[in-house]
Structure 1
């Protein structure tokens, strides 16, 4: 006991280190002050993992069951959750009836992959990197049945000079717009809605955050899509493009 604090004893009186290192202050397990001290050291070590945070704490403090306590505090850190939370994964759906019904003739039902893979031959005027875009037509009948058909696909070789991934995605988006305008001129469908999807390559720290307002489930009750409320409005995304950061009941 010194200065009103209970400290660790030991045999390091002659060690050439600070007094706090030789006799660290003992802190209780699962206490609000202990959590605040752990959170402060976690932030000061630039949101490091359990080992670095625990090493920083032991320079002055000794926490009862400290390893479990440090893990618990780091698990609640919202910054670390945004940086390292794993993405949600879709559960594979049941096989369609055509795949499991016996007695059907061979090749009665055939599926075709229209996009890739492509063999790229690298020459003097082109690189081994390529980008492309495809267009599909989605029709909804009066009875609610949905039919999706492939229309057209285009692929281009990237220039020889080094081009960043965002630049390639922007070039592919421009190609998608040209393809969309071409199909609108050639096909007389009247007013149709055009939707474009691109891969996001921004860092995790710049991802949008929002709150799930509504979920869409399949026949078995598995959640497939959600409606997310963000600062820019409502977005509808599949769960594979979401990272769960915080639950309401946590």
Structure 2
């Protein structure tokens, strides 16, 4: 009879919203107990957060909610414009596996959002420590995001990009660098500022580009067995071939600049400039 009662209490069918919320709360509690056990103990027993394991949350005004979940307080608590989850986000450790999986899920759900958008969305309900670096890591290690980057944009960075956000297409103007402000209209004053910027940029920055920084060290070497994309100027990035580096060829200075790459159709020899190493996602470790 006992076995029958237990079986009759088992739920079947689709998961309800309440069941999903309860599952999430349980995962959050486990993650917090793993990462913030000392903080949880102090809050539960109304003790001050003074030891070395609780100092990292001192400025967050943390508290326990009705489900014994650690949340972050602050000035938003006085606002009536935001929901409870935004005013008091759940505290997470950026190094915990639960947080990592949460960021990956949101990155995919937001159709491969940028680090800034991913972070803004996460902080609607969560407050992960080290969130900015984790958001960058998730996007950097996303193979899909890497393959969608625009490598054919060879337009140079000019002063106009800082002034108007794009390349300068205006007609040539007389030299106004020596003119005084009283002689200039607003239009010519803006043009004068642009000319000053260009003059300083061309004299003080461009000459720095002569400094030899490429191929100075072996830091740019590509390791054997690295998964790479092979650039093809005649194809879009999504059509580039995948391959693995099977051999590298160092020059007389000891720096490797060429590699053999095994692809599905054979072995190709390409310079490092034509090879894009794909980010690898290492095995995740539990906890911190």
TM-score when scaled to structure 1?
0.49
- The structure richer in helix per residue is 2
Structure number with the bigger relative contact order (C-alpha 8 A, sep ≥ 6) is 1
Structure 2 length-normalised TM = 0.43
- Answer 1 or 2: which has greater strand percent: 1
